[in-house]
Amino acid sequence: MTDTLQKFMFEHAGVRGELVEMESAWQQMQSHQTYPPAVQTMLGEMMAAAALLSANLKFNGTMIMQIHGDGPVKLMVVECDSELRLRATAKLADDAVIEDHETLKDLVHAHGHGRFVITLDPNDKMPGQQAYQGIVPLDGDSIATVIENYMQRSEQLDTKLWLAANDKVTRGMLLQKLPKIGGSESQVEDEAEAWNHAVMLGDTLKKDEMLNHDIATLMHRLFWEQTLRVFEPLQPSFHCSCTREKVGDMLKMLGIDEVESAIAEFGKLDINCDFCGKHYGFDPVDCAQLFVAKTLAEGILPPGDSKH
Ligand SMILES: [Zn+2]
């Protein structure tokens, strides 16, 4: 299984591109959660898109891509850090019945209130620094179009995406027109023509073709007549950043009343990470400790460690 992200540039054309494929990371992501096929496809496409956009950013931190839906799918989240480590999850409405043919609009924008949110959360925040967040309506009939529209609005960059996913693999391609290089009118025309030509080649890609061929084959089929500069391939991977500390933090945010009433009802709290399925248990002592500890770290010793 290969998980690869390949960057390339068209020589003398002012167009850059990336191809990505993920099998191992995508399957690890699905190993603890089962989604209806229509949701699986969308989440897989979002994952490919997140890797493509992250690899394109000069940014040290985590990109969080979220869709807040108003239909049977309530939330889809994909996170990708600057080392191309990804995790993803989706939350469906309790009563959701999802047919295979349902579209993006059916799933998350049924009443026109769906939102697409991109957050850039830097690793080393300066004091008082906020994460950057961009929110746009879900205008578009596919994940690719929604992101293209977002890029056009927020970055004023011509960007085109082609995405495809099934239960085994997710693949994607990004093409982007570089900011203007040429000064003269004829250079500008040449650049526009090179961009249009690259997009036209990209538009010949069919979903089936993307699902059934590795990115080296796709690149050759599409661009064999072009002179490409190809960079050292990168390796996206699955990684979940959940920790017992973060779960404890979340419980503290819920507040002591909420946690105590849950303990009274269930005896203890069993929390599973939405992203990786890892289980975190908090018994009454663990929970009490959370709220008496002077510092967060004291309250969340793993089970078995001595508590004072
Ligand atoms: Zn996790």
Mean pLDDT of 157-176: 96
pTM beyond 0.75, yes or no: yes
Mean pLDDT of 69-92: 96
- Predicted confidence (pLDDT) at residue 307 exceeds the cutoff of 50: no
- Predicted confidence (pLDDT) at residue 218 exceeds the cutoff of 60: yes
What is the 3 state secondary structure string of 153-175? HHHCCCEEEEEEECCCCEEEEEE
Q: How far is the CA of 247 from the centre of ligand 1 (A)?
A: 10
Q: How far is the CA of 87 from the centre of ligand 1 (A)?
A: 8
Sorted by sequence, the CB contacts under 8 Å of residue 224 that are 6+ apart come out as: none
d(CA 125, CA 136): 24
d(CA 10, CA 108): 36
What tens digit of pLDDT does each residue of 22-51 get? 999 999 999 999 999 999 999 999 999 999
pLDDT at 105: 93
d(CA 297, CA 118): 30
d(CA 231, CA 203): 23
CA 243 to chain centre: 20
The answer to whether 174 touches 52, Cβ cutoff 8 Å, is yes
Sorted by sequence, the CB contacts under 8 Å of residue 50 that are 6+ apart come out as: 63, 65, 78, 79, 80, 86, 88
SS3 223: helix
pLDDT at 291: 87
What tens digit of pLDDT does each residue of 47-72 get? 999 999 999 888 899 999 999 999 99
pLDDT at 75: 97
pLDDT at 13: 83
Which residues on neighbouring strands pair with residue 17, listed in sequence order? Answer: 8, 175
Task: Please identify which residue in the block is written with the tokens 């849950």.
Answer: 262
pLDDT at 51: 98
The answer to whether 63 touches 86, Cβ cutoff 8 Å, is no
Give whole-number Cα distances, 147 to 61, 144, 160, 186, in Å.
20, 5, 9, 30
Q: How far is the CA of 182 from the centre of ligand 1 (A)?
A: 47
Q: What is the mean pLDDT of the chain?
A: 90
pLDDT at 242: 95
d(CA 12, CA 191): 9
Rg (CA), the chain: 22
Sorted by sequence, the CB contacts under 8 Å of residue 237 that are 6+ apart come out as: 3, 24, 25, 84, 85, 86
Which residues are within 5 Å of ligand 1 (an ion), measured at CB?
A: 240, 242, 273, 275-276, 278
- Predicted confidence (pLDDT) at residue 92 exceeds the cutoff of 80: yes
Tell me whether residue 200 is exposed, middle or buried, using C-beta atoms within 10 angstroms of its C-beta: 0 to 12, 13 to 18, 19 or more. Answer: exposed
Mean pLDDT of 196-216: 96
Q: How far is the CA of 300 from the centre of ligand 1 (A)?
A: 16
pLDDT at 305: 52
- The span from the first CA to the last CA of the chain, in angstroms, equals 48
Q: How far is the CA of 37 from the centre of ligand 1 (A)?
A: 23
Q: How far is the CA of 52 from the centre of ligand 1 (A)?
A: 22
- Predicted confidence (pLDDT) at residue 293 exceeds the cutoff of 70: no
What tens digit of pLDDT does each residue of 119-131 get? 999 988 778 778 8
Q: How far is the CA of 176 from the centre of ligand 1 (A)?
A: 33
Q: Please give the share of the chain, as a percent, with pLDDT higher than 90.
A: 72
Q: How far is the CA of 277 from the centre of ligand 1 (A)?
A: 6
Q: How far is the CA of 27 from the centre of ligand 1 (A)?
A: 15
d(CA 3, CA 240): 17
Q: Which of 102, 272, 59 is nearest to 50 (CA)?
A: 59
- Predicted confidence (pLDDT) at residue 297 exceeds the cutoff of 80: no
What tens digit of pLDDT does each residue of 222-247 get? 999 989 999 999 999 999 999 999 99
